[in-house]
Structure 1
Amino acid sequence: MPLAVLLVGLTGSGKTTVAQVLTGHGYVRLSVDEEVHRLHGRYGVDYPEHTYFERERPAVEAIRERFTKELQAGVDVVLDHGLWRRTDRDAWRETAREAGGHPVIVYLPAGRDELLRRLAERNQREDANALTVTPEALDDFFARFDVPAEDEEVIVHTGDQDALLAALAAARHTQG
């Protein structure tokens, strides 16, 4: 049964970095931000910021279709998307199960000060994974974020890639 790694964390928490590491271990990485960028260009530059969510919806559905197809083909997948709300995580877990995959939540906790530091660096870039985030927007993100609960089969990732890989291997062997 393929693993469906669902990355959970606020903007700047390190989801893309973790997803890229997992691609080196055979996972297919699916990124909603990159799909939106491919279709519409840069956030706040090529389209108004307030239209992001309407542009994101079809990208999420396209990624969900590919997510399903990869899992049905027996391929391990890592979803590079924030999944801030419990309801969103529940829906992606159900999609994974219906496609024959074993969903695992990987939570990347990060404090406000650390996120602001990372975002200040990232805000200088212009790639698909460099959405500009202000301190006020980050506060709004925290207000809308549901920290994963124990019943979500959560692996808390604190930066140790070897520990993460070991935890994913253990999840693979204990699935059922």
Structure 2
Amino acid sequence: MPLAVLLAGLTGSGKTTVAQALATRGFTRLSVDEEVHRLHGRYGVDYPEHTYFERERPVVEAIRQRFIKELAAGNDVVLDHGLWRRSERDAWRQAASEAGGHPLVVYLPADREELLRRLAERNQREDANALIVTPEALTDFFVRFDPPADDEDVIVYRGEMEALVADLRQARQG
């Protein structure tokens, strides 16, 4: 049964880094931000920030279709997308299960100070994964983020890729 790794974490928590590392281990990496960037340019630069969600919506649906197709073909997939709301995580879990995959949520917790440090560095870049995030926006992000609840089956990522790979291997074996 192919694995469907669903990354959950705020902007700057390390989702793309983890997804890229899993891609080097054979996972198909699907990135919503990179596809939005490819189609529309840079957030807040090439289009107004307030239009992001209308641009993102069709991309998420296209990524969902590819996600289902990859899992149905027996490929391990990692979704490089924040999944801030429990309802989003539940919907992606269901899609993975219905496609014959084994969904696993990997939560990347990070405190505000660490996120501000990472975002200050990242805000200097101009690539698809460098959305400009202000401290005020980060405060709003924390308000809108639902950390995984106790009844959600999650793997908590603590910065150790080999530990995560071992957890994924164990999950695959049941």
TM-score of the pair, normalised by structure 1: 0.98
5 Å-filtered alignment, 1:1-176, equals: 1-174=1-174
For residue 172 of structure 1, give the secondary structure of its aligned residue in structure 2: helix
For residue 96 of structure 1, give the secondary structure of its aligned residue in structure 2: helix
- What is the CA-CA distance between 1:30 and the residue it aligns to? 0.2
2: CA distance, partners of 1:109 / 1:95: 24
- What is the CA-CA distance between 1:27 and the residue it aligns to? 0.1
For residue 103 of structure 1, give the secondary structure of its aligned residue in structure 2: strand
**Greater Cα shift, 141-150 or 71-80:** 141-150
Q: Give unpaired runs (5+ residues) of structure 2.
A: none
2: CA distance, partners of 1:170 / 1:100: 18
Q: Give unpaired runs (5+ residues) of structure 1.
A: none
Query: What RMSD over aligned residues (CA atoms) do the two structures have, in Å?
Result: 0.5
- What is the CA-CA distance between 1:152 and the residue it aligns to? 2.0
- Residues 62-88 of structure 1: CA distance to partner in whole angstroms, max 9, x if unpaired? 100000000000000000000000000
- Residues 112-132 of structure 1: CA distance to partner in whole angstroms, max 9, x if unpaired? 000000000000000000000
- What is the CA-CA distance between 1:5 and the residue it aligns to? 0.1
- Residues 7-53 of structure 1: CA distance to partner in whole angstroms, max 9, x if unpaired? 00000000000000001111000000001001111111111110000
- What is the CA-CA distance between 1:158 and the residue it aligns to? 0.6
TM-score of the pair, normalised by structure 2: 0.99
- Residues 103-150 of structure 1: CA distance to partner in whole angstroms, max 9, x if unpaired? 000000000000000000000000000000000000000001111123
Structure 1 runs (4+) greater than 4 angstroms displaced: none
